[in-house]
Amino acid sequence: MAFVPAGPVRFHVQQPPAVGPDHPRRPVVVFLHGLVVDNLSSFYCPLAVPVALAGHRTVLYDLRGHGRTERPPTGYDTGTAVRDLFALLGALDLGRRPVHLVGNSYGGTLALHAALARPDRVAGLTLLEPLLDGAWTENMVDTLSAAALSLEDSPVPAELLTLRLRKAAHLTAIADDLLNRTSLIDDVAAGRTFTPADYAQLACPLLIVCGQHSELVPGARELARHAPRAARLEILPGLGHDVLKESSGVLRAAVLAHLDATAAAAVRAAARPRAGASAR
């Protein structure tokens, strides 16, 4: 376990050791998890360790306020999340490396914002059940607000501890802190909706994975339709908003293939002579 200061926040970071030499031109694979009750552990075994074993430099971290990362009262908007990401990479001495962002649920939203804000750094995207449209944001804010009310002054965390359900008690306490003692709900509500014009600006290869029964499929199809480069949309049969938990084998194969292709493209691009460079 490692704690890394980046800006005003100390982040909980894990870096499973990669197998084989680390090519400096290969993108670092960075995992971005979902909101409130999620943390880096949801990626660790299903994807992060297999990705590292396949030879990719891999970084997982708990987002601001989540998991074991520090929980300041403000700064839960997407702009700050993107700044947190690149500040952390700088603190890890990876400030000049391209990155391939793998985001699940709200983490997919953050990954997309990062690719739009820093196209010079984001070499590839893998979005698992990304939250993209305004209707979903409104539904999520309503759900979070209802959860905040139910957790305020709730005896549930203490009762879970008496039942020796420590993990559940810990996650419930974190959710209470995030929802009732930070600006997270207001910051999420103030987030802007993506447009086709945003999607048209994407400059990197893109893989989107959704469950067949997910209500997010229409938004994913729109993103794939408007992305200027060939975007690959994988619809996994029989699943909803649970592809990371319920389809590890199929998902792992799709993600590894996309990462390998993106890494090879990045190495080839770095090897090309720059435009205007004089021959020697």
CATH (domain of 78): 3.40.50.1820
Structural domain contains residue 160: no
Supply the range of the domain harboring residue 121: 2-132+195-271
Q: Check the CA dihedral 89-93-94-97 and report its sign.
A: positive
Record the pTM. 0.93
Structural domain contains residue 157: no
Structural domain contains residue 224: yes
Structural domain contains residue 90: yes
Structural domain contains residue 279: no
How many separate domains does the chain show?
1
Q: In what order do the strands lie in the sheet with 122-128?
A: 2-6, 9-14, 58-61, 28-32, 99-104, 122-128, 206-211, 231-236
Structural domain contains residue 150: no
Amino acid letter, 166: R
Structural domain contains residue 276: no
Structural domain contains residue 49: yes
Q: How far out from the chain centre does Cα 4 lie?
A: 18
pLDDT tens track of the chain, all 280 residues?
A: 599 999 999 999 999 998 888 888 889 999 999 999 899 999 999 999 999 999 999 999 999 999 999 999 999 999 999 999 999 999 999 998 999 999 999 999 999 999 999 999 999 999 999 999 888 888 899 999 999 998 887 776 666 557 666 777 788 889 999 999 999 999 999 988 899 999 999 989 999 999 999 999 999 999 999 998 778 999 999 999 889 988 878 999 999 999 999 988 887 877 776 655 544 3
Q: Are 111 and 32 in contact (CB under 8 A)?
A: yes
Give bridge partners of residue 47 from the DSSP assignment: none
